[in-house]
Amino acid sequence: MSTQKINTRNIVLIVMILFAVAMRLVNTQFLFLSNFTPVGAMALFGGAYFNDKRTAFVVPLLALFASDILVNSIYHINPFAISYWMYLCFIIMVFIGSLIKNVNLGSVLVGSLASVAIHWLIMDMPFLYGNQYTHNLSGYALSLSRAVPFELNMLIGDVAYGAILFGGFELAKTKFVGLRSKSELAL
């Protein structure tokens, strides 16, 4: 019986992550939604809810990789041109999600803020942009300042999609006992 509950829970989590990644494909069609994506929320969600931490990393990473291939194809870029730095950020975001032990508005907001800060500090290092910025602290500061609108969109996206993912799963757990973790069932 418990294996069935775990499988049902994982299936629901995977479907929710696939829904979120599908929304990433919609967002690419609207320039004003640049960086308003579900990827940060998806990483936090996977990290927080998958009981097996290996699955917590693999499922969101595979979803991101599949969506990267599709997004790159839409923009006629090499489908396999991926940013290893972005995947590093994403791995850290899943880790941050795994630290969320008590899902509530505050913990999801703090996780979202931390994820966006990590993304901002890593993805806007000047050497990632060739010669667009000088490779010193002033170039880094300029890169960080120019990225603020994109990072704000990412934060808004993380909060909005986080509300849908976390709130939706918490609501589903109240209706369907099979979605609860073993520790929640023990209470």
**Segment 107-150, tens digit of pLDDT:** 999 999 999 999 999 999 988 887 888 899 999 999 999 999 98
Contact 91, 61 (CB under 8 A): yes
Predicted TM-score of the model (pTM): 0.88
7 confidence band (pLDDT: 50, 70, 90): confident
Tell me the CB-side half-sphere exposure of residue 84, using CA atoms within 13 A: 0
Report all structural domains of the chain as residue ranges with CATH numbers, in order of start.
Answer: 2-181 (1.10.1760)
Percent of the chain with pLDDT over 70: 91
Find the Cα–Cα–Cα–Cα dihedral 77, 80, 82, 87, rounded to 10°.
Answer: 150
103 touches 48 (CB < 8 A) = yes
How distant, in Å, are the alpha carbons of 72, 89, 111, 161 from that of 118?
23, 7, 11, 18
DSSP state of 126: G
